[in-house]
Amino acid sequence: MDVNLNSETSAALFQAKGMKDFNPSLAKTKEGARAAAEDFEAVFLHQLVELMWTEVPTDGPFGGGHSESVFRSMLNEEYSKQIAGNGGIGLADDIYREILKMQNIEE
């Protein structure tokens, strides 16, 4: 099954995940394609890291509450960006090649 996302849909997806500065037109260069691929991997990893923390108890005298959930979400986002920026899990490489193929750019 092929899924084709136009630039507006792609931008909306990234903005919904908190990546407000995503610009799909930047993916028309190799550098932009690499950045978009790493951003996508970071969003994917953020979802995984968030799931990892769902079962960790936050009770206790200094645990839980709205502030901790906000902080934990921001911390998980930064973890995800760091993981993706330092090689990640290899997802960005595959996405990068697909973006180049879709844009008809030689690797």
Q: What is the pLDDT of residues 3-58, one digit of tens each?
A: 444 555 555 555 555 555 555 566 778 888 888 888 889 999 999 999 988 888 77
The verdict on residue 45 lying in a domain is yes
**Does any domain span residue 2?**
no
In sequence order, the 6+-apart residues with CB closer than 8 A to the CB of 6 are none
Could you list the residue range(s) of the whole structural domain that residue 69 is in?
7-102
Determine, yes or no, domain membership for 49. Answer: yes
In order of 19, 42, 77, 93, the CA distances from 33 in angstroms are: 15, 14, 21, 10
What is the Cα–Cα distance from 107 to 50, expressed in whole angstroms?
Answer: 34
Count of structural domains within the chain: 1
Stated pTM of the model: 0.68
Output the pLDDT for position 20: 55
In a domain, 75, yes or no: yes
Judge whether 24 lies within some domain.
yes
